[in-house]
Amino acid sequence: MSGLPKDFLWGGAVAAHQLEGGWQAGGKGVSVADVMTAGGNGVGRRITDGVQPGENYPNHEAIDFYHHYKDDVKLFAELGLKAFRTSIAWTRIYPKGDETEPNEAGLQFYDDLFDELLKYGIQPVITLSHFEMPYHLVTEYGGWRDRRVIDFFVRFATTVFTRYKDKVKYWMTFNEINNQTEYNGTFALFTNSGIQLKPGENAERVMYQTAHYETVASALAVQIGHRINPAFQIGAMIAMVPIYPASPDPRDVFKAERAMQTRYWFADVQAKGRYPEWLRQYQKNAGFDLDITLPDLDVLQAGTVDYIGFSYYMSFAVKAQRDEPKSFKYVEGRDGVENPTVARSEWGWQIDPQGLRYAMNWFADRYDLPLFIVENGFGAIDKKEPDGSVHDPYRVDYLRRHIEQMELAVEEDGIPLIGYTPWGFIDLVSAGSGQMDKRYGFIYVDKNDAGEGTLARSKKDSFYWYQHVIETNGADL
C-alpha cells in the first residue's frame, strides 16, 4: 500500500497544439504554435511571419489526435488513466481571439472528447492557455502587451467554463506562466505571451507588463469560474525548477534565494493575491513605470487559485557574480552553473528526483494549498525494434525515481497531492524543439522529425509499467 489517497488522479498530460493537428479543421484559426517551424538535428524552431509555403510546421498535423481521439481514448482507458490533462485550443473556440461569438464546431469537438473520456471514467483536466494563443492577437494587438487581450481571454474562459461546467472540475489558467523569466530568449516570450520585441525595447520590462496582464486575466477567470460552478478547482500552473546555491558561500545562497523569488513570484500573485514586496521595490528601483492599477490589485486579491499545479523536469544551480549588483538580480541562463552532483539528459536537462520532494515542500510551506504534479517526464530518442516493440528502461527509471520522491513527500511530509499526470504519455510534438523524435510517451506514434510515418500507435514497455503503477495505486513501482 502506498500512502496515496484512493482517489488519487493518476493521469497523463498533453497540450492541444502538440497533439491535435487539424489546424484548420472545424473552423480553427491560426495560433502562435502554427507559425513555428519544426526543429531537429540540432536546429531549433523558428518563429515565422505567418504561415509560409514550403515550411515544415509540426503542429499543423501533430499526431492528428483530432481525427484519432476515439481510438486514442480507448488506449488511455486501457492504460488505466483516471485523468487526462489537455488544453482547449483557444483558436478552435475563438479563431482570431477577438470575435464576440464562439465557433460552435470547436466547442462541439471538446464536448465529444470530454464525453468520450468520461465514458471510460477519465476526468478531463483542462489548461485554458498552453502556448497557443491566436496569432491574430499577435499581429493586431502585439499579444499580451495590450490590456484588451485580458477581455478576450476572459470571454474565452467564460465560454468554456459555461459550456463544460458539468464535465470538467479541474482547470488551470496559463501553462507555465513563469517561463517568461527567460525573457532574454525570444522563444518563451512568444510562446507564452505572443510577444515579439521591437528594436531597442527592454525585454524585462515588457515581460513584467505582459505577465501582469496575464495574472489579472487569470484572477478574473478564477472569480468567474467559481461563480459558474462553485465546485470548480482552478489552479495556477508553474514551471518548477528548484534553484540551488552552487556552494555554501552566503552570497551564492542569497543568489539562489533571489533566483527562486524571481522565478516564482507568479505563484505568489496567483496564490496569495499580491505582489511580493521585494518585487514591487525592484520594479520601482528599475524605473519600469508599469501599468498596474489599484483595481488590478483588487482583482488579484479576489481571484486566488485553489491549488498549485506545476511541471517538474529538472533543477538548476546558481552562483553569485563577482560584481553582484545590490539587487542580486537573477538573470536566467547567465547565472546558471553546472551541478556536478546530478546527471543530465541528452538535451542537457538535469535529472534530479530528490528535487521534486524539495519543490513540493517549498510550495506546500509557502502557499498552504494542495498540489497537483501536472507534468514530469523524460524526453529521449526511442528505438523501435523490428518486431515493433520499444524498450525504454531509461524512461521507467526516471519516472520511478520521481514517483518515489513524490510518495515520500506525501507519506513523510504530509503534503496534500491531487494527482500526477506525466507529460507526453503519448508521443507528441516537443514544444521547445519542435521535434517528434524527442519522445516522452508510453505510447509510441509512428512519425519522425521530417514528418514521415503512418501515425500508427503502439505500446512501449513503459506502457505496461505505468499501467501496473496505476493498478497498485503507486505501491509497486
Question: Which residue numbers are catalytic?
Answer: 375
Stretch that binds ligand BGP, among 59-67, 76-84, 260-268, 430-438 (CB under 6 A): 430-438
Stretch that binds ligand BGP, among 42-50, 69-77, 166-174, 432-440 (CB under 6 A): 432-440
CB of 127 to ligand BGP, least distance (A): 9
Cell of 153: 481571454
Contact between 430 and ligand BGP by CB under 6 A: the answer reads: yes
Contact between 431 and ligand BGP by CB under 6 A: the answer reads: yes
CB of 178 to ligand BGP, least distance (A): 11
Contact between 379 and ligand BGP by CB under 6 A: the answer reads: yes
Select from 318, 380, 373, 375 the least CA-distant residue to 344.
380
CA angle centred on 225, ends 147 and 26, rounded to 5° = 75
Stretch that binds ligand BGP, among 106-114, 269-277, 427-435, 461-469 (CB under 6 A): 427-435
Select from 184, 178, 190 the least CA-distant residue to 144.
190
Contact between 191 and ligand BGP by CB under 6 A: the answer reads: no
Contact between 193 and ligand BGP by CB under 6 A: the answer reads: no
The residue from 15, 300, 403, 418 that contacts ligand BGP (CB under 6 A) is 15
Contact between 176 and ligand BGP by CB under 6 A: the answer reads: yes
Stretch that binds ligand BGP, among 32-40, 203-211, 282-290, 425-433 (CB under 6 A): 425-433
The residue from 92, 258, 438, 439 that contacts ligand BGP (CB under 6 A) is 438
Contact between 173 and ligand BGP by CB under 6 A: the answer reads: no
Which residues, numbered 45-74, are part of the site for ligand BGP (CB under 6 A)? Answer: none
Cβ 197 vs Cβ 184: under 8 Å: no
CB of 176 to ligand BGP, least distance (A): 5
The residue from 31, 129, 175, 218 that contacts ligand BGP (CB under 6 A) is 175
Name the residue nearer to ligand BGP (CB basis): 173 or 311.
Answer: 311
CB of 313 to ligand BGP, least distance (A): 7
Contact between 466 and ligand BGP by CB under 6 A: the answer reads: no
Environment class of 53 (CB within 10 Å of its CB; exposed 0-12, middle 13-18, buried 19+): exposed
Stretch that binds ligand BGP, among 156-164, 199-207, 246-254, 424-432 (CB under 6 A): 424-432
CB of 438 to ligand BGP, least distance (A): 5
CB of 181 to ligand BGP, least distance (A): 13
CA angle centred on 149, ends 146 and 154, rounded to 5° = 150
Select from 456, 430, 431 the least CA-distant residue to 443.
456
Cβ 206 vs Cβ 260: under 8 Å: no
CB of 227 to ligand BGP, least distance (A): 28
Taking residue 466's Cβ as centre, other Cβ atoms within 10 Å add up to 24
Q: What Rg do the C-alpha atoms of the chain give, in angstroms?
A: 21
Contact between 129 and ligand BGP by CB under 6 A: the answer reads: no
CB of 387 to ligand BGP, least distance (A): 28
Select from 28, 35, 25, 16 the least CA-distant residue to 139.
35
Contact between 220 and ligand BGP by CB under 6 A: the answer reads: no
* Helical axes 393-411 vs 461-471, angle rounded to 10°: 20
Contact between 432 and ligand BGP by CB under 6 A: the answer reads: yes
- Taking residues 382 to 421 in sequence order and writing x for each that binds ligand BGP by CB under 6 A, - otherwise, the string is ----------------------------------------
Residues of this chain that interact with ligand BGP (CB under 6 A) are: 15, 175-176, 239, 311, 375, 379, 423, 430-433, 438
